Structure 1
Amino acid sequence: MSISPNRLKELQNIPDPAIDTSDIPELDQQFWETAKMIKPVSQEATLIQLDKDILDWFKSKGKGYESLINSALRSYIEHNSSP
């Protein structure tokens, strides 16, 4: 999804008290007791060959398609790794 520069500016100018957060639960003690720290994984630039239709699909999702490809590959690995 793409957002126009004008809309982004409008959103940035909304004062915090005017933002409706009623659908976001407060973070209580239980949340922090079970929260996990996830350290970012360093990335490495590489060249891979992808089928044109696959690359076109990811590009159609907009800016940041490279990160989307990375997320899809990470999800695949996590779901196909032995415990």
Structure 2
Amino acid sequence: MRHSATQIKRLRSSGADKTSAKAPEAESLGAEFWSKARVVMPRVKTSVHLRLDSDVVEWFRANGKGHLTRMNAVLRAYVDAQK
């Protein structure tokens, strides 16, 4: 979605693009984490229509936002295990 120059100006003047001074400092991940970290480029996604059991979908939804991403991760793990 593109924003007009007026919308951007309004957002900037509202302070919406600033981090709160009250925000807690994030804990450092440490050198060990970064020495083992790897960058994975996102794969191209394909949109599909898929019929799933209602209880399966509700279970993923009950765990909060990102339920489709988690479903994809489960399928990715299965595919990788089959290789």
Same fold (TM over 0.5): yes
Output the amino acid matched with 2:30: P
* Cα distance, 1:35–1:67 mapped onto 2, change above 3 Å: closer
CA offsets per residue over residues 26-72 of structure 1, 9 Å max, x none?
259x92xx654421101111111111111111111122211111111
Q: For residues 37 and 65 of structure 2, what CA distance do their matches in structure 1 show?
A: 30
Runs of 4+ in structure 1 off by over 3 angstroms are 34-37
Alignment of 1:5-44 (within 5 A): 12-14=19-21, 19=25, 21=27, 24-26=29-31, 31=35, 36-44=38-46
Q: For residues 80 and 15 of structure 1, what CA distance do their matches in structure 2 show?
A: 47
TM-score, scaled relative to structure 2: 0.59
Give me the CA root mean square deviation. Answer: 3.0
Q: Is 1:62–2:57 an aligned residue pair?
A: no
* Cα distance, 1:45–1:20 mapped onto 2, change above 3 Å: closer
Q: CA deviation at 1:77?
A: 1.2
TM-score, scaled relative to structure 1: 0.59
Q: Is 1:76–2:78 an aligned residue pair?
A: yes
Q: Which runs of 5+ in 2 are unaligned?
A: 1-18
Q: Which runs of 5+ in 1 are unaligned?
A: 1-11
Q: For residues 51 and 71 of structure 2, what CA distance do their matches in structure 1 show?
A: 12
